[in-house]
Every structure is written in C-alpha cells, then in structure tokens.
Chains A and B, each alone.
Chain A
Amino acid sequence: MAGVTIENLRKSYGDIEVMHGVDLNIEDGEFVVFVGPSGCGKSTLLRMIAGLEEVTSGTVAIGDQVVNDVAPSKRGVAMVFQTYALYPHMTVFKNMAFGLMQAKTPEDEINRRVTQAAEILQITDYLDRSPRNLSGGQRQRVAIGRAIVRDPEVFLFDEPLSNLDAALRVQTRLEIKRLHERLQSTMIYVTHDQVEAMTLADKIVVLRDGYIEQVGSPIELYTRPANQFVAGFIGSPQMNFFDADDCNNANASGNITGVRPEHLTQVKSKGLISGKLELVEQMGEFALVHLSTPKGAMFSAKMPLPPTEKLGETLEFNANSDDLIHLFDPQSGLRISE
C-alpha cells in the first residue's frame, strides 16, 4: 500500500491550462474524494494519477516513486470507470483475469485471485456470463472486481455510481465503503455528487476550474467551509447567502452572511432574516420551504412541519446558534473567521 503525493501539478491542452499547479498529499490507506462541478478538473487529476493523461509539469508520486513516466499498468493503481468499460467479448471471469494474464501470472494464482474477488463482491455465480447478460449493478461489481484482483496500492474510481439508479447507488456506495474497511487500501474517488463525497470520504478535495478550493474532512468542510464556493457546494440543500443589507445580521459589516437551511428556525418576532413564502416542498420527514428576501433573493429553510402561513405571507427566521452563521468576503469569497 502507498500514499500519493502530488506537487505543483499542471496540465495544459495546447495553450489552455486546465490544472494550475495542484499540491496534494494523500495518506496511505486514506479514502479521498475529489468533488467539484463539471469541468473542474477532478477527472483530469485522477487520470493523471492513473497515467491515462500526461503530466504537463509537476510530479505525481505513488509511495516514494515519482510515476510521471511510468506506464499505467506499472503504477500499482487500478481504475473503475464510470461506464464500467468491461470487455464485452469476454466472460466475467476473463474480464477480471485479463490484467493478470497480460502480466503472465500463473494460472492457479489467477484462479485463486479471481475466485476470491468474486466472493467478496458476490458475483461467483456470474463468472461464466458475458457482461451483456448482467445488470448495471452487476457490471459495476465486475468492474470493481477487475480492480481488486490486481491487488493495487491505490484504487481509482471515476464517478463509478453515476450510471446506476438511485436505490442501487446507495447500496453500491455502502459496498465501496465496506470494501475500503476490508482492504484498507488507498482509494481515490471522483464524483460530482456531494452526498457521495460526504458519506465516503476520510478527506474531501473540492476543486474548481483547475484549482483546489479546500481539502479537509467532510465535517470540516461542512462546518468551516474555506470560502463561499465550498460553502455552497457542500451540503444539501445548498447554504443560503444574504447580502449585508438584505438581512438583520449586526456582525455582517458589509460581508455576505451564510446560513444552511437546516440551521434556520422560524421565530415569531423580527429575526435574522425575513422572507416571503414562495413554495413549500413536503419531503415527509421535513418540509423544505422556499422564500424570498425583501430584495428578492431566494433562500430555503428546512422545517419539521409545513408552516401554517399561506403563500405570500412573511416568515421570520433565526439561526439556531451564532456558530452556525458564516461570513464571507463579498469580493474574494473567502471565509471571515470569527
């Protein structure tokens, strides 16, 4: 097993730089999630670690070895692709064994490893089938199995769940988590889904436009986002932001106030923020209410029960505690620490 060290990593396509000097340290055995909106460079970063994308400058090291010029198969990494990328003309067994066959591994060793991986993933019954006779979830297991049999130092997952339906996604997410507990390998996981990031990661790396915005544990990112972008990206529903003159925050002094919808409570008297009721979404366990500030900005609040007020009436809200009010610089977007 090994950690991954990335130093001043840059990537350009022609004149366009898409990765602007990224530094990152991934500990041995850590589960790291790269998260960010489309085009933020998270997949590019992963593919540079895999060796599928050339490094323009800077270094990628796996363990102690700089792997910039090492072939993907020699880096000790295995990748699970979003589209599964199984070989359609081979059986499940052969799909999993293919890499070992290329490395001229002895046949009984191949059998042992494939059988073992198949048992872990409960796909032993499908070993003779071809991928086209499997469901999406089963295919994804085969793709994970293909990675496991190679016994890599680092697992790379490129949005592995995005082709699965919602229920299966939750289940497979759990299985990946369990797999990490079991194998204790370093895992790097790319997703644009912040729920996946929060639930899976030991450490989340938030990327935007080829820069790292913040690195930290899920709870750190949730409670102390480094800037407005991270604050808005992590957490669902999204954090609300209010201009200084649009809310009743005495400490704002010209800065942007941020409060998560789940940290707002309705009050009778004049509160931190008042809003006109626009829409109520009944979720069952809670109601998500959408409101507009006096200046017309939209925000939302999570309420245990739908409000008794009618649409168009004004509601008052306070934050549950002052610790839950975040302040951001309106120019740079950076967090202002209290």
Chain B
Amino acid sequence: MRSRFGSPVLDASARLLAPFMWLFAAYVMVHGHDSPGGGFQAGVILAASIVMLRLVRGGGTGSGLSSRGALTLACAGPLLFGGIGIGSLFSGGNFLDYGALPLPMDPVQVRVIGTLGIEAGVMLGVTGVLVLIFDVLASWDDGTV
C-alpha cells in the first residue's frame, strides 16, 4: 500500500475526477433538504474522493489532507453541530432551535443558515472519521495518527 501505483493514466484521471467529486459533494450538501442527499452523503462522497487520491498518489501530502487534518475535521464537525445546538439553547430557544440564534437577519434566513451549518458539521465529521478509519487500516504513518 505504501508504494504508488505508478500509472500516469491513474494519476491523471484521479486528478481530473477529484474536483468534480468535491463539487458534487457541495451540491449534495446544499441541496440536501429538497432532493436526495444531505450532510452524511456529502461527507461520504468527500471521504471517497480523498481515499481515492490516497490510493492513487500515496498517503500524506499527495491527497491534500493529512491524518492530523482528518482528526481535526472529525473533531470540528461535531463541535460545529453542538455549537449551533447549544448556541440556540443559550439564546432562548430549544436545543437545535435555529430560529433563536442571534443573527441580524430574517428568522427564515437564520433557520436556513442554521440548517446549512448543521449539514456542514455532519459533513466534516463524517469525512474526518472515514478518512481516519482508512488511515488506521492502511497505516500510512505506521499506525500512529
């Protein structure tokens, strides 16, 4: 697993495919509430693109996300989710009651922003955890994360 696959065709096609997978993940996340998809699916697609880059180009810097970065993402996602939930709790609403968030906007817009933030938190968390599982299984860094 440590050695690169070494084929220019694989390398070029992975390079070409990755940006479109990221764009598709962003589309799935943003359109999650009126079409199939959502934060979890977007996170899985993002993780699949990073795992593909790791398989083709080797671990570490080649895939744009280190193991440490994946750990940061896996912690930042639940932090964002819980931050929005507890933030609305402390500004007078219920847990995850986005309308209560103290933002200078329409309550409807605040709800949309809150839903988007929740989805982004789920996406970051899922991406980080899946990439971490792959890193631990493939042990790019000798098993240490």
Are the chains A and B members of one assembly?
Answer: no
Task: Give A contacts to B, CB under 8 Å.
Answer: none
